[in-house]
Amino acid sequence: MTQSILTDIKKAAKKSLKAKKDALANAQMQLEILNGELFADGDLPYFKDKIAETGQFPLRPKTLEVLQINVGYMCNQVCGHCHVDAGPDRKEIMTRETMQQCLNVIRNTGAHTLDLTGGAPEMNPDFRWFVEEASKAGIQDFIVRSNLTIILANKKYHDLPEFFKKHNVHVVSSMPHYTRGKTDKQRGDGVFDKSIKALQMLNKVGYGMPNNDLRLDLVYNPSGAFLPADQAAMEQDFKKALKEDFDIDFHNLFAITNLPISRFLDYLIASDNYEDYMYSLVEAYNPAAVESVMCTNTISVSWDGWLYDCDFNQMLDLKVASKVKHIKDYNDDVLSNRDIIISQHCYGCTAGAGSSCQGTVA
């Protein structure tokens, strides 16, 4: 009996909130929580009021630097903290037609960085075609966010390191900790060993090696209800441990704060950490981080071509407040003249040294 309950719980953990028909799969429900009594009763200030204290409301975009494209929510992993609610059961996948619309923008944009994310972007059937086409556009920095384990998930992915190298892709990979226990707890059993193997494969073709231009950066997310520590200190710890234990090299570590949305919000509520976590974020609020928060230089595109201020707003279904809302109608001038949509999850990007897909900002 107990065994079968445990099996059920384990199975449930391997499904997305959407597949479980969990109420929190609904963006509206998440926004209600983020606007809930903790803020409505005045215990904590709304993000809007907080940034108004330093004259930073409304938040406005600066020059576009990063075009971030989410090519689908399908993933081979079901990580406990995932803000996308990604997993093998997610069927939202960008079509070649939408990719074509993205390419039209990539070829004409002034953005210096193209950033592909997911899900596991490699699981999109047109991923390789898209990378080949996009790499011809001559973008300065072409990032693919790879979860590492995908490289070992199936024979057809084993050559990804070579493929990335061929197209001079900048690989950014998640690695929650340099110890097995913490990594597997957040991302699933066996993830640590596979990630280590994948990093060694990337190193082997030259990625992450000192003095090599094939860039390999790691992303650290705290595996629990706490904020990341100093990025430089964490990078030193990671470098020392991964080199000594596994002879792995990488370039930089990006420390990213978990935002209270989707599966991480579900975890915070279930573990009775939500209130404390929001207090921690607000207490660590840093107005200097607001200045460089990533929504001011990024546009996020969803699998179906809609435009958002960031990947988090995408998951909360908060489309850009602009006449242009879809990649097919993309227009830099119109988009740059918009107010960025904010809510209380934004405190995640302004805590401490700030947080973005490129790590700290302040």
Partner 1 sequence: MAKSYYDPADLRKFGKITEWSEELGNKFFDYYGKVFEEGALSAREKSLIALAVSHVVKCPYCIDAYTKDGLQRGITKEEMMEAVHAGAAIESGATLVHGVQMMNKYDKLSM
Residues binding partner 1 (CB under 8 A)? 177, 179, 222, 224, 226-229, 233-234, 237, 276, 279, 283
Shortest Cβ 293–partner 1 spacing (Å): 21
Q: Taking the complex as a whole, how short is the minimal distance between the CB of residue 222 and partner 1, in angstroms?
A: 7
| Angle at alpha carbon of residue 9, lines to 314 and 32, rounded to 5° | 35
User: What are the beta bridge partners of residue 68?
Assistant: 115, 300
What CA–CA distance (Å, rounded) separates 183 from 196?
Answer: 11
Looking at beta carbons only, is 133 or 237 nearer to partner 1?
A: 237
Residue 344 C-beta: closest distance to partner 1, Å: 17
DSSP string, 231-263: HHHHHHHHHHHHHHHH----S-EEE-PPPSSHH
Q: How far apart are CA 290 and CA 257, in angstroms?
A: 14
Residue (109 or 173) nearer to partner 1, CB: 173
Which is nearer to partner 1, 208 or 352 (by Cβ)?
A: 352
Strands lying side by side in the sheet with 216-220: 253-255, 216-220, 170-174, 141-146, 113-117, 66-70, 298-301, 307-308
Q: Report DSSP state, residue 297.
A: T
Min dist CB 279 to partner 1, Å, is: 6
Which residues make beta-bridge pairs with 93?
72
Find the shortest distance in angstroms from Cβ 110 to partner 1.
38
Task: For the CB of residue 302, give the shortest distance to partner 1 in the complex, in Å.
Answer: 32
What is the Cα–Cα distance from 298 to 112, expressed in whole angstroms?
A: 11
Q: Which is nearer to partner 1, 238 or 308 (CB)?
A: 238
Distance CA 202, CA 283 (A): 39
Among residues 179 and 271, whose Cβ is nearest to partner 1?
179
- Shortest Cβ 213–partner 1 spacing (Å): 29
Please name which of 155, 185, 187 lies closest in space to residue 173, comparing C-alpha atoms: 187
Closest CA to 34 of 329, 251, 316: 316
Euclidean distance between CA atoms 182 and 51, whole angstroms: 35
Comparison of 27 and 284: residue with beta carbon closer to partner 1? 284
Q: Which is nearer to partner 1, 135 or 273 (CB)?
A: 273
